[in-house]
Structure 1
Amino acid sequence: MSDKNMQIWEKVEKTETRFTKKAKVNGQDITSLSGTAMVMKATELFGPVGIGWGWKIIDERFDEGHEIYIGEGDKRACIGREIGHTLKIALWFIQDGQRGEIEQYGCTRYQYKTSYGMTTDGEAPKKSLTDAIKKALSMLGFSADVFLGLFDDQTYVDQLKEEEALAMAEDKDAEMLRQKQERVDWLASAVETIGKAVTLHELKLLNVKYVREATRRNEPAFIARITRAFEERKAALEPSKENAA
């Protein structure tokens, strides 16, 4: 694949962690993206909305869903239907003098039942538009790391945060030293805690915990040091063969 084909994607695929937050949607844990942050990123690349890029609404509708009931048996009654709002846009952009266009949908619940009864979301059209813009921009690679599920990997998120802290630091050398010292301090604390284990069961639990964390941090040298600390403490806790005899 040519570099030209990926030139937009590679510029916008990483997401600043400060513009994300964890959310629960339909029982699933997801990473929620700031729509305004994505608009800002697109503006940085293409120019102001309406000049370098923009969108046009080409379809909008309210769709009825399933019926909503209350009560049981003879007292069961229908109080309405769920209603969803759907909006379709054509998002356009200018790249190297050429005009591109992407069609996408945005969907939002408009009328639905909550634990407190029926409710209507008056901001559903606005939310659907934001949803459609975000989905259209994702087709170009904007925040691809979120849509590819990389934000589910805490190691990836931690690495991003370190990169961001380094990029924003006035004294980059000092920030690099700070991050290095933070890793060294974590290892020292892990080794010290392992060395204080009072039972083999506790020791094994600590070893699993710290090896998993070192693996998540992508620190193979730390894994080796933790393993050595584990073996040393294990030897001290296990009864010697002479005493056992």
Structure 2
Amino acid sequence: MKDNLKLWDAVQQTDPKYTKKVTGKSFNGTSPNPMYLVKKATEHLGPMGEGWGCESICTETETIGDTILYSEQVLLWYMKGEKRCEISQWSSIKLAYMTKGENGYLLIDEEARKKCRTNAMSKCLSLLGFCADIWLKYYESDDYVKLMQKEHERVDVAQENATKFRELTQNLETKCGAVAEEEKLVICQWILDDRELEIGDMKINPALTVQIKEKLAEEFKKGVKPKSMLKSALEWSNGNSTKES
């Protein structure tokens, strides 16, 4: 049986920091940042223009009273293996209209066409499940929003640590030559972990983090290999921790 919800499940949750409240229109609610949607689509479908993209099918301009309404039908395509899949949606926006009040004047929205295309693209992506938790009204629950904030903060920290891990392992390779994966993991976890980390009988005191990194740098300069470097730095930190206590 096909897993038809695989993409939907992967993209439905929305990071609250990339949303804004929509008020003063015919509806109130929450709207995701368009560039956030593009980033999520790039992450899961590939670069725009390669793994997915948007094309204009047709446009319409209609005058209703003193308002000029601009509409566009957009085709969103994406690749699923060798197969090109397509979704289309309409979007409309006021291109020009008279403002209210005694001194009303004709207001022309120079960004109307771009906004219309963006809205249609967002609608197409929502049909694939992107930021579906908003359209399913989960964002009407404050508890759900708080849960998403905590979850995405955790993800942000994990991504930051992953970046640091890559930098550290590249540094290890540069300074010490080829390093076994298990050695990379031990050394990088030791540096990244805010908690007290036990290795054998030795413990690392978080308060000594700066000094430990300096000791690590010294070992790098000496050209000491990873296992010996780690053992030396651990023994040094353990000794200093004992002295401080």
Farther off after superposition, 110-119 or 37-46: 110-119
Q: Which residue of 2 aligns with 1:31?
A: 30
Which of 81, 85, 88 aligns to 1:100? It is 85
For the Cα contact (< 8 Å) 1:166–1:172, is it kept in 2?
Answer: no
Amino acid paired to 1:120: I
* Alpha-carbon separation, structure 2, partners of 1:172 and 1:108: 51
- 2-structure distance, mates of 1:108, 1:172: 51
- Deviation digits for residues 37-67 of structure 1 (CA, Å, limit 9, x no counterpart): 11111111111111111121010121112x2
Residue in 2 that maps onto 1:42: 41
Kindly indicate whether the alpha-carbon contact (under 8 Å) linking 1:12 and 1:143 is maintained by their aligned counterparts in 2: yes
Residue 27 of structure 1 deviates from its aligned partner by 5.2
- For residues 53 and 27 of structure 2, the distance between their equivalents in structure 1, rounded to whole angstroms, comes to 31
**Partner amino acid, structure 2, of 1:91:** L
Residue 127 to residue 168, structure 1, CA distance change in 2 (3 Å): same
Distance in 2, matches of 1:3 and 1:151, equals: 29
- Which of 110, 117, 120 lines up with 2:108 in the alignment? 120
Aligned to 1:109: 94
Q: How does 1:88-167 map to 2 (within 5 A)?
A: 88-115=73-100, 117=104, 118-167=106-155
Higher strand share: 1
Q: CA deviation at 1:28?
A: 3.4
Aligned residues: 159
Distance across 1 between alignment mates of 2:145 and 2:42: 24
What corresponds to 1:78 in structure 2? none
* CA distance in structure 2 between the aligned counterparts of 1:43 and 1:4, rounded to whole angstroms: 21
CA deviation map 1:62-112 (0-9, x unaligned)? 1112x2xxxxxxxxxxxxx21111011111000133211001112111112
Secondary structure of 2:23's aligned partner? strand
User: Which whole-Å deviations, capped at 9, do the CAs of 1:179-231 have from their partners, x for residues lacking one?
Assistant: xxxxxxxxxxxxxxxxxxxxxxxxxxxxxxxxxxxxxxxxxxxxxxxxxxxxx
Q: What SS is found at the alignment partner of 1:14?
A: coil
Q: 1:50 to 1:159 in 2, by over 3 A?
A: same
Maintained 8 Å contact 1:35/1:130: yes
Specify the code of the residue in structure 2 equivalent to 1:132: A
Runs of 4+ in 1 over 3 A off after TM superposition: 170-174
- The 8 Å contact of residues 13 and 145 in structure 1, kept in 2 or not, is answered as yes
Identical columns (%): 32
Of 164-173 and 37-46, deviating more is 164-173
Find the counterpart in structure 2 of residue 57 from structure 1.
56
Aligned equivalents of 2:2, 2:9: Cα separation in 1: 9
2:1 is the alignment partner of 1:16: no
In 2: Cα distance, 1:3 partner to 1:20 partner: 32
Query: 1:185 — aligned with what?
Result: none
Cα distance change of structure 1 residues 114 and 49 upon mapping to structure 2, 3 Å threshold: same
Correspondent of 1:82 among 58, 64, 67:
67
- Name stretches of at least 5 consecutive residues in structure 2 with no aligned partner: 162-191, 196-245
Structural RMSD (CA): 1.9
